[in-house]
Amino acid sequence: MKKTWKIGTRGSLLALTQCGQIRDLLHEKTGENFELVIIKTRGDQQTDVPLWQLEGKDFFTRELDMALLAGEVDLVVHSYKDLGSERPVGIKLAAITERFYGNDILLMPKDKIQLLKNGALKKLIVGTSSPRRIVNLTQQLARLLPSKPEIETKTLRGNVNTRVQKLRNNEYDAIVLAMPGLERLAQDANAVKELAPLVDGLDFMILPPSLFPWAASQGALAIEMWQDHPQASELSRILASVHHTATELAVKRERKAFNDYGGGCHLAVGVAVMQTKDFFVHSHRGERDQDKIDKQFLEPSQQEINAIATFAGMASDDQLIEKVPLQLSFNSDNKDLFVTSSHVFKSLEKTSISASFCAAGTKTWEKLAGQGYWVNGCADSLGEKQLENFSRSHLLKLLRQRTFDWLVLSGEEAHSSLGPVFETYQRREKTLSAEFAKRIEETSDFFWTSFNQYQTYLQRFPMIKDKRHWCGLGKTYDAFAMHHIPVIAVSGISEFKKLTGHK
- The DSSP call for residue 462 is G
Q: Dihedral sign, CA of 445, 450, 451, 452? A: negative
Contact criterion met (CB below 8 Å) for 347 and 424: yes
Contact criterion met (CB below 8 Å) for 357 and 368: yes
Q: Cα dist. 44→6, 362, 471, 473, 474 in Å?
A: 21, 36, 46, 41, 42
132 catalytically annotated: yes
203 catalytically annotated: no
Q: Could you give the 3-state DSSP secondary structure of residue 209?
A: coil
By CB neighbour count within 10 A (0-12 exposed, 13-18 middle, 19+ buried), where does 278 fall? Answer: exposed
Catalytic one of 6, 99, 112, 163: 163
Rg of the chain (C-alpha set): 25
Catalytic one of 6, 81, 184, 253: 81
Separation CA 65–CA 226 (nearest Å): 9
Catalytic one of 117, 157, 295, 323: 157
Torsion angle, CA of 230/233/235/239, rounded to 10 degrees?
150
163 catalytically annotated: yes
Give the distance, in angstroms, between the CA of residue 21 and the centroid of all CA atoms in the same chain.
23
Catalytic one of 265, 358, 378, 471: 265
Amino acid identity, position 165: Q
HSE-CB at 154 with a 13 A cutoff on CA atoms is 14
**DSSP secondary structure letters along 211-265:** TS---TTTT-EEEEEETT-TTHHHHHHHHHTT--HHHHHHHHHHHHHHHHTT-ST
- Mark out the alpha helices in 309-408 (DSSP H runs): 345-349, 362-370, 385-391, 394-400
439 catalytically annotated: no
**What DSSP element (H or E) covers 383?**
none
Residue 299 phi/psi, 5-degree rounding, is -125, 125
Separation CA 154–CA 249 (nearest Å): 34
Catalytic one of 6, 112, 132, 253: 132
Catalytic one of 58, 65, 74, 82: 82
133 catalytically annotated: yes
Amino acid identity, position 401: Q
Catalytic one of 6, 10, 112, 133: 133
Please list the active-site residues.
Answer: 81-82, 132-133, 157, 163, 265
